[in-house]
């Protein structure tokens, strides 16, 4: 979702809210996108960015040597987890239940 789409939604919804007067006090309508570093939470989110660079933090250490932070290419998405190829360290299989935080790592 880009800025143009957010602007269109804001311009379409704002007048309707004013007419219906759902909110009895003054308010400011803000329509936004989660951005390029949006959190990845559901398997479908991971599937959409497969092949791209991601950053994953786990609740506890995984792998050998143990680590909690993984930045690399999202190589695989399965029913119970993901595989992240970390340059120079290999491929790490991480279960969804072990992921504390994950997001797309956007490179400028």
Which tens digit of pLDDT belongs to each residue from 21-75?
A: 777 777 776 766 666 667 899 999 999 999 999 999 999 999 888 999 999 999 9
Taking the model in full, what pTM does it have? 0.69
Q: Look at residues 31, 72, 73 and name the one whose alpha carbon lies nearest to residue 50.
A: 73
CB atoms within 10 A of CB 102: 23
Q: Where are the domains of the chain?
A: 43-104
Backbone angles phi, psi at 20, to 5 degrees: -75, -25
Among the four given CATH numbers 2.130.10.10, 2.40.50.140, 3.20.20.140, 2.30.30.100, the one describing domain 43-104: 2.30.30.100
């Amino acid at each position: 979702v880009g800025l143009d789409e957010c602007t269109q939604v804001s311009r379409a919804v704002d007048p309707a809210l004013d007419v219906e007067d759902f909110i009895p006090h003054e308010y400011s309508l803000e329509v936004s996108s989660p951005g390029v570093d949006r959190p990845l939470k559901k398997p479908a989110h991971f599937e959409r960015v497969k092949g791209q660079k991601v950053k994953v933090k786990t609740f506890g250490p995984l792998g050998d040597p143990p680590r909690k932070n993984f930045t690399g290419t999202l190589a695989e998405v399965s029913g119970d987890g993901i595989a992240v190829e970390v340059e120079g360290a290999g491929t790490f299989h991480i279960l969804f239940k072990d992921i504390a935080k994950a997001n797309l790592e956007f490179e400028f």
